[in-house]
Structure 1
């Protein structure tokens, strides 16, 4: 029974819940960025490059053929257009993460720069300073 209790405590800690939320939001954000790249960025880029559809960019390394046993063998294709789209996806996600971290760091710096209360000396130090001052007199 204690194992279940320990697991509940672990699962309900802030860090674990925060991580789960981050993974879910990250997955959704990845889909949004992929859609943005595939549906918004790449079509105009393809038009600017002469009507190229990046999904169709590929090099056929070996054509499809029928083997001696009558079995159909698929073509071997190097789809570099999809690779280009994935690179654009990565660059956009990396840029957004960079901006988010930069924003968080600037907020932390503002908190650190904010004036804080002067440190209060412990009572023993205050007493020692008073004794020192009395001895000097």
Structure 2
């Protein structure tokens, strides 16, 4: 019973919905980045390197062995560094995009929390704390100036 009550509190607080939304957006973002790297960045890079396809680049440790019937009896063993390069490019694009989004969100949050900025509506709790701080400074100045 305690477990169900804790789960209900977790779901009602919105944590579960926030996680679900984040996972859905993350999956869609992953598809977008995958297409961006494979269909937008890699073709010009391949063209600049004289038609080199990075996805096919590998270092073969052991060649495949084919019998007289043309069947593969022993699989090829290879280090596929081309796919690693594409995945690394994916990671860099995702990291840069997340950095830009977080930087923009932080800038908006700072503007919203600045009580002196009248362009963006300041949350009431920040506004009240700012007023309280001003009153305390005023009170301290009066106490300092009292003989």
Task: Look at both structures and tell me which one has the larger radius of gyration over its CA atoms.
Answer: 1
- What TM-score do you get using the length of structure 1 for normalisation? 0.76
Alpha-carbon distance, 1:44 to partner:
1.0
> 1:106 deviation in Å?
0.7
Q: 3-state SS of the aligned residue for 1:118?
A: helix
Q: Structure 1 CA distance, aligned partners of 2:49 and 2:95? A: 25
> Deviation of residue 121 (structure 1)?
5.9
Select the structure with the greater relative contact order (CA < 8 A; seq sep ≥ 6). 1
Q: Which runs of 5+ in 2 are unaligned?
A: 117-126
Aligned to 1:48: 48
| TM-score, scaled to structure 2 | 0.71
User: Which residue of structure 2 aligns with residue 105 of structure 1?
Assistant: 106
Instruction: Name the structure 2 match of 1:9.
Output: 9
Q: Give the 4+ runs in structure 1 shifted more than 6 A.
A: none
Give the Cα–Cα distance (whole angstroms) in 1 for the partners of residues 7 and 131 of structure 2. 43
Cα RMSD over matched residues? 2.6
